[in-house]
Amino acid sequence: MSLILQPGTRIVVATHNPGKARELAEILENRFDLVTAGALGLPEPEETETTFEGNALLKARAAARASGLIALADDSGLSVTALRGAPGIYSARWAGETKDFSLAMARVEQDLRAAGTSESSAWFTCALAVAWPEGPAVVVEGRLDGDVVFPARGDRGFGYDPIFVPKGESQTFGEMDPIKKDAMSHRALAFAQLRAAIL
Ligand code: ITT
């Protein structure tokens, strides 16, 4: 079998996060026939791995197995240097059951204050995994460096976007035009690698 994705291939986007699903659809630029995990009623697997790549593979494999389609999954998160990489793979879990990211961002601010540091460097990671129902899979990772800023600014994007300013920029991802975010984000960097590997 070929591990090259032909244009127009039907792919299940294995995410239950609408912000990610929108960005992935924008980045994939109508190349594929996309269907979401939500639309197919696929269950959300428990993220039991200890790395972004491990969790992306786990989600892609579960969706490919359950749907019989090629699946694309994204595992991503914010890592703060002074918090030794937290929240990292726990980025979604810091927002709690209600997925309230104002709470998660407040926790980052509070933990930095408790650490008594002015070090604000941080990075976003995005692992993208593609799994074929027959078994093989490919995983890549993109990283974007920047700083966390408080108070949060902007209501565009999702998750931690209002507190993240990419290196060399002055706007947070929450303030930035989504077209500009999509051109430079950790998700776009991961996708560029995926394109080189299998498109
Ligand atoms: P799925 O597993 O269903 O894809 P999720 O939200 O649980 O959805 P993750 O476990 O990968 O996904 O959690 C990643 C979290 O990191 C996500 O909920 C966001 O809060 C945050 N995150 C990832 N990419 C981000 C981005 O581009 N901007 C802001 N926050 C981001």
CA of 76 to the centre of ligand 1 (A): 5
* Model confidence pLDDT, tens digit, residues 130-188: 999 998 999 999 999 999 999 999 999 999 999 999 999 999 999 999 999 999 999 99
Distance (Å) from CA 74 to ligand 1 centroid: 8
Catalytic residue among 75, 147, 161, 182: 75
Atom number in ligand 1 closest to CA 101: 20
For residue 150, give both structure tokens.
């408080």
CATH number at residue 167: 3.90.950.10
Query: How much helix, strand and coil, in percent to the nearest 5, is found in the chain?
Result: 35, 25, 40
Inside any domain, residue 3: no
Q: Is residue 2, in this structure, part of any structural domain at all?
A: no
Q: How large a percentage of the chain has pLDDT more than 70?
A: 99
Q: Closest Cα partner for 192 from 122, 126, 124, 135?
A: 126
For range 111-123, the mean pLDDT: 97
Range of the domain at 82: 10-198
In degrees rounded to 5, what are phi and psi of residue 123?
-150, 150
